[in-house]
Chain A
Amino acid sequence: MNPRPLSLLSGGLSALLALLLVSALWDTPVHEGVSASVAGAMGHTGVAHPVTAVLLDFRAYDTLLEMAVVLLAVLATWSLGRCDTLPARPVQGPVMRGGLRHLIPLAVLTGGYLIWAGGAGSGGAFQGGAVLAASGVMWVLAWPRRPDLPAPLGLRVGVTLGVAVFLAIGVAGLPLGPGFMGYPPGWSYGLILTVETAAACSIALSLVLLFLGGRPWRDAEDG
């Protein structure tokens, strides 16, 4: 079938689906969802901001798996092969480099603040990590020679750090705290903070490596 009628058909079907979705959502009841019980249990989390509490305390297991997804993505891209030299067309001229020389420290600072602010307001590991990753990417783009990244082992440890720390703390919850992925009472704020910083660093490193799109080092066999 040439594309013409097929796209029409798919368009029609999608429109129909849209109508269904709207009609379904139209008569869904309004409810407070879980926010009431979240507010109620905030006291024990040692964190002020409810989203961070949900993310890192109530549904900590989700976040662990989510960070695992990022790590697995990196491993998957590495298993596809080596990344070619980047970028295809380096950015010439002093403006980029000059600007970046001031911008990157600022970005790192904001990232750090975001991680810290996560405890009380909106922010946290992922947001901070994202900003750090952005600065990393800009740095890689600006200085196009082979990026002098740390040795493969270092990279691997760095990427795995976030998940490893979170898992270690989760396992510690078994004997000490209220079971797996539970923080021992009173310790939750400190632990959440460590998890957040480790997660932020790992995510930042992972995103930069994902941007590179392959193994940034020469393996034994791909000569």
Chain B
Amino acid sequence: MSIGATALTLVPLAPLLLALVLPAGKGAWRLTPLAVLPALGAVLLLPDATRAHLPEVLLGVRLALDPVSRGFLLAAALLWGAAAVYARGDLRDDPHVVRFHVFFLLAMAGNLGLVVAADAVVFYTFFALMSLASVGLVVHRCTAEAWRATWVYLGMAVLGELCLFTGLILQVHAVGDPSLERLVLEAPPDGLAVSLIVVGLGAKAGMVPLHLWLPLAHPAAPTPASAVLSGAMIKAGLLGWLYLIPRGEAMAGVGTWLLVAGLAGAWFGVLAGVLQQRPKTLLAYSSISQMGLMTAGMGLAVQAPELGPALTAALVFYVVHHGLAKGALFLGTGIARQVSLPWLLLGLGVPSLALAGLPLTSGAMAKSLLKTPLEATQGDYSAVLLLMALAAAGTAVLMLRFLALVLPGAGRDGGGSWAMRLPWLLLALAAPLLPWCWDPAAAWALLSPGKLWTAAWPLLLGVGVALAGFLLFRRVRVRVHLPEGDLWWLLERAGRAGVQAVARQPVLWRSPGGTLYARLGAWLVRGWGTLQDRALEAERHMRRWEVLGGGFTAWILILFGVLWWGLGG
């Protein structure tokens, strides 16, 4: 095992081992942030195409690091590190701190592991570990709201996993080898398998019809948990798509489907988000919207294989950008009350506007990276580009609504330790600095006027619409309020009604054989009793001498008769 391979295996292993050690040591939970170091080291130091292979473990574990997974790993590592440091401060006096950190580390291991996985089975293993461990994070506060969110999240996670499992097994059987490279290249365009994979990962990536758990889980989970959930974990779905959806003409249908779902998600996220009251729910809807954009990008990449590499690079950058920005926003919301207004303005303002695509920030670069390949090719993607721009405008409106919700509460409680402020500010700084250290050339290109304008007009439009909206609502005084988890709220109500309806029918619920079995049992016992009495009576009767003697004579005659008849009398 070369150093690279050992380092690579350490990426998921470090948090796992720490999670196992945690319950034993008293204050060991304070070491959680250290678990991220191997991942950071791997991102920065390990060359591309580092391979690790453990033939003995599971069904033969294979790990690999390539540009795509490096990007995802960067985002995940930074975000998990920041959240871990934040959590040290946030949950210091929580009675179940050890339990939280164990599940936190397990989820981290799952997330980091699936990023570096190079084998379908390994990917699925870490995916399952991440989703089940994150259940522990969502339910941590054990409030009614948390339990409700947990049951929804757990149900959808398990369903998603099973869909993924079926899709994977179909693909692996077809290709005959679970390694991801071969799956992507050689997997036959089996509609069922791919749609199962899309749905399975879509549940995690918050694709529109399957997004129900997101707005419920984020407000319920503790801040570091929801930061990581929104920043890193839902990205796993996207990564899965990148690895598992085979390219090629036959996949055009899936591509368009993804595109449509993505755009719908983008729009739905914005519309539902604006109507929210709580900042974290709003951010959740913003994640749905952003993931929608990324899904659309994914759809385009699948639909037009020639755009594949460029779009993938764009998606990777978009993931990093969104991860860091969304993480900063969540952490900021967490301590909004303990921080003075100017710090808050800086710490939240910059990442939120970055998300909206403010020029000179990672947002603008992400959106332009996404758009340039579309403009370059001959296919007319103008409609798509327009919709994307409008979505960006929508995000701007959303972000302003978010700032309106958060800023008034600034500085109310005071205090707030540096351990919580530092990671938040660090992430916030990433928004402006990221384009420069990612790809300086492209960053310069962004400064050209044409590019500036294409980035700026959606922002200005958004600001205009936001101001108009703000003025309108102030006068009309109407409180339009969409309940969190929109569709789920409807489903739940319908479900409860259905259960009561069923419960009212007495027939159905009494166990079908209930009385039948009881009656049958009683009848049997009675029958047995009478049978026994009758037999004893017959026995006593047969014991009488006359009956015995008569039987003897009769028996002689019967036997003789049979003999006579038999031998042809």
Contacts and interface: CB of A to CB of B under 8 A. Distances in A.
A91 interface: no
A13 B549 CA distance: 11
A17 B550 contact: no
A17 B546 contact: no
A144 B229 CA distance: 121
B553 interface: yes
B557 A17 contact: yes
A14 interface: yes
A158 to B, nearest CB: 37
Interface string B514-550: 0000000000000000000000000000000011011
A17 B556 CA distance: 8
Nearest to A3: B546
B31 interface: no
Contacts of A3: 546
Nearest to A10: B550
Interface residues of B, number: 9
A1 B544 CA distance: 10
Nearest to B556: A17
A10 B549 CA distance: 8
Contact of B554 (A7, A13, A20): A13
Contacts of A16: 557
Interface string B206-220: 000000000000000
Contacts of B546: 1, 3, 6-7, 10
A7 B557 CA distance: 17
A9 B550 contact: yes
Interface string A1-34: 1010011011001101100100000000000000
A72 B557 CA distance: 34
Majority secondary structure, B binding face: helix
Contacts of A17: 553, 556-557
Interface string A131-151: 000000000000000000000
B550 A20 contact: no
B119 to A, nearest CB: 89
B561 to A, nearest CB: 10
A3 B546 CA distance: 8
A13 B560 contact: no
Interface string B153-168: 0000000000000000
A20 B553 contact: no
B565 to A, nearest CB: 14
A7 B550 CA distance: 9
A14 B556 CA distance: 10
Contacts of B547: 1, 6
Interface in B256-298: none
Given A3-B546, A6-B546, A14 B553 contact: yes
A9 B549 CA distance: 11
A22 B557 CA distance: 14
Contacts of A10: 546, 549-550, 553
Given A6-B547, A7-B546, A17-B557, 4 more contacts: A3-B546, A10-B549, A13-B553, A13-B554
Interface of A: 1, 3, 6-7, 9-10, 13-14, 16-17, 20
13 contacts: A1-B547, A6-B546, A6-B547, A9-B550, A10-B546, A13-B550, A13-B554, A13-B557, A16-B557, A17-B553, A17-B556, A20-B557, A20-B560
Q: Which 4 A-B pairs have the closest CB atoms?
A: A13-B553, A6-B546, A10-B550, A13-B554
